[in-house]
Amino acid sequence: MLSLTRYCTSTITRNSTIRLLPIKNNLYTCTSKPILSNTALTFVKRNSLYLYKDLIKKGSAIALGFASKSVQKSDKVVGKWLLTCSGMVFVAVILGGVTRLTESGLSMVTWKLLGEKMPSTESQWQIEFERYKQFPEYKITNHDMTLEDFKRIWWMEYLHRMWGRLIGAVFIVPATYFWAKGMLKPGMKMRVAILGSLIGLQGLMGWYMVKSGLEDRFVEQSDVPRVSQYRLAAHLGMAFIIYNINAGNLKSKLKRFRMLVHSTKGLVFLTALSGAFVAGMDAGLIYNTFPKMANKWIPDDIFMVSPGWKNFTENPTTVQFDHRIMGITTLSLITCIGFISRKYKLPGNAKKAIVAVLCAGYLQVLLGISTLVHHVPLSLAASHQSGSLLVLSTMIWLCHELKYLKYVLK
């Protein structure tokens, strides 16, 4: 019996799990030999069966290990892809801000899904310029513009549009491949589908916004042709949502501290939207003092539009006042997060994330004040708009780190 057990063990060691089956049969064929008692035979049967099951379990564990490594690799690839898309959306927001600040957004008066043909000859540029002359911005504001001036603003808008189309391509092509190869989990499939829809809608919203500035609703010589502040806010807000879904973790159970953090992130988003109304109405060009507005805490014309609710979206004074209040409130909440976090033993990089949030928040307010008091120079205004995404990015990072908060103690 001892030699038979040694034979089984050596065979199992040398060969694969599949080779164990003949060994198991050999154990049963040896039962006819009189030297083995029933008790000994039962012992051998049980031990061989246990060895067999153990090897099957180990084989399954090995297979599971290989599968886990494959899944982890897929998750990393998908994560890098989404991170790339987030970075591209970040750049798109910066380009959009510069396009708005240079008043280039109304230079292209047509829109095609796959992109407009770029003028390559002087005659083609002249045709494009003649199209632009038919719309209010040229007739009211830029009637003395030269062809060279037109080329500069046209290129800015063209770059912004083509970058948006590049984002769509970078998203759709890999998403189709990952979906076909089964590299996306069920939850991620839903997320990718939502992102794809939002990116498509964002392109349509961009053109819908531009169309509002091409309409014949600017009749007075004092009117300034511009896009609708509502559509501008919707366009910017959708970009922030796309960025948030790409970069953030939406699955999070809230506790008191985490609820404060998530609420602050929401207020960051709303403050950025109010900034879109400021940009859309050029509200940063009035009341260029801080903290007071024309030596008053509350200006006299804050409710001069009737009905009263329209002041919040159509009165430049009220729009700027609201943006100031929301910015200060957001900074106050960020400061509270910094103080309250000191009583928690936070996991991982959460402390670094809080420091990043504090730095980004105070830098953003400093940029906002500097932009206002210096009458909205291009460099500061573009930095201020980029700063809003920086603050949102740090808040997303902090929310991600705090998903483990339920396991730490005060």
> Tens digits of per-residue pLDDT, 42-66?
444 455 555 555 544 555 444 444 4
Q: Which residues pair with 293 in a beta bridge?
A: 296
Is the model's pTM score more than 0.85?
no
378 half-sphere exposure, CB direction, 13 A CA radius: 9
**Nearest of 263, 273, 199, 253 to residue 395 by alpha carbon:** 263
* Mean pLDDT, residues 261-270: 92
Q: Are the C-beta atoms of 334 and 264 separated by less than 8 Å?
A: yes
376 SS3 class = coil
Cα–Cα distance for residue pair 324/331, rounded to 1 Å: 11
Alpha helix (H) residue ranges in 281-315: 311-314
Burial (Cβ within 10 Å: 0-12, 13-18, ≥19) of residue 203: middle
30 half-sphere exposure, CB direction, 13 A CA radius: 20
Q: What are phi and psi of 377, to 5 degrees?
A: -70, 150
Kindly report, residue by residue over 327-369, the tens digit of the pLDDT: 999 999 999 999 988 877 777 688 899 999 999 999 999 999 9
> Which CB contacts under 8 angstroms, 24+ apart, belong to 94-100?
94/382, 94/385, 94/386, 94/389, 95/159, 95/160, 95/163, 96/160, 96/235, 96/236, 96/239, 97/279, 97/381, 97/382, 97/385, 97/386, 98/156, 98/378, 98/382, 99/156, 99/157, 99/160, 100/232, 100/279
Structure tokens at 261: 């953090």
Q: Are the C-beta atoms of 299 and 287 separated by less than 8 Å?
A: yes
Kindly report, residue by residue over 115-170, the tens digit of the pLDDT: 888 898 999 999 999 999 999 899 888 888 999 999 999 999 999 999 999 999 99
Cα–Cα distance for residue pair 152/404, rounded to 1 Å: 50
226, pLDDT greater than 80? yes
The average confidence (pLDDT) of the chain is 81
Per-residue pLDDT at 380: 93
* Mean pLDDT, residues 243-252: 63
Contacting residues for 79 by C-beta, under 8 A, at least 6 apart: none
**Nearest of 336, 325, 240 to residue 290 by alpha carbon:** 325
Structure tokens at 96: 């959009």
DSSP for residue 290: S
Q: Are the C-beta atoms of 107 and 227 separated by less than 8 Å?
A: no
Cα–Cα distance for residue pair 161/44, rounded to 1 Å: 76
137 SS3 class = helix
Q: Are the C-beta atoms of 331 and 275 separated by less than 8 Å?
A: no
**Nearest of 196, 245, 202 to residue 92 by alpha carbon:** 202
Q: What are phi and psi of 380, to 5 degrees?
A: -70, -40
Q: Are the C-beta atoms of 141 and 104 separated by less than 8 Å?
A: no
Kindly report, residue by residue over 60-79, the tens digit of the pLDDT: 444 444 445 555 677 788 88
Per-residue pLDDT at 50: 52
